Amino acid sequence: MLSHEKRVGILGLVSLAAVVSLFVIEPIAQDPNYHQFADPRSLRGLSNFWNVVSNLPFLVVGGLGLSRYERLSQPASAEGFRVMCWGVLLVGFGSAYYHANPSNDTLLWDRLPMTVAFMALFSLMLGERVLRSQNRYCLWLLVAAGVASVFYWSWTESLGRGDLRPYLLVQFLPIMLMPFILFMFPERYLSNVLLSAAFGLYFIAKMLEYFDGRIFSVSGGTIGGHAIKHVAAAAAAFCIIYAVPARPHNC
């Protein structure tokens, strides 16, 4: 069994390799086809109706999380948990706003809360398993890096030379590292079972997104994969929120 220090060292090396490999390549602009969805149908005057309303579960899940905030059995995790829940809730608004009128300008408001939620989750996992204690400076440093990466991408797009590299780093590096943290560092209070379920659901969500058009075709034009993806992603967020233990209501 590797020592804690060696496992932390592996995380550091993977992170360094990701940073170096990403920034030796050319800037990556946003693909215009990203805004094209298989199901653009309007209903009651709302464009992309199902891709918009399928964001409602994020509002519910974020609200449920905030209702648990004061009952967390690990007070040290409360700040990161609250930031994560606000991020999930605001994804419901930001993603709905984007899907009602998909463009780079509206995509900014989809990516901002999503990045905040991701960074808060990453901070929670680092504090529980890697750093041995929750650290508010780590939380806000990660959130600031995530927010800055989104604004940087938006700014470069406005200049006509879009650069997604920092955003891709803060999105996909935690996604690579968190499963490693989950299985290589001992569980303290975050539920391995629920976190594993969350990562599984997130993978399913990405597959639903990728096969958006195929699912729309197979369903006979009933629903696209992208709308179902929102529900799967919200289910993943639900698992994460309940992976953080809380006292019963009567305590």
Residues in the chain: 251
158 class by beta-carbon count within 10 Å (0-12 exposed, 13-18 middle, 19+ buried): exposed
Three-state DSSP at 130 gives helix
Task: Count CA within 13 A, CB hemisphere, residue 92.
Answer: 18
Binding site: which residues? 99
135 token code pair? 């650290």
Q: Record the tokens describing residue 173, joined without a space.
A: 């590096």
d(C-alpha 107, C-alpha 223), whole Å: 22
**By the 8 A CB rule, do 87 and 121 touch?**
no
User: Which residues are known binding-site members for Zn(2+)?
Assistant: 99
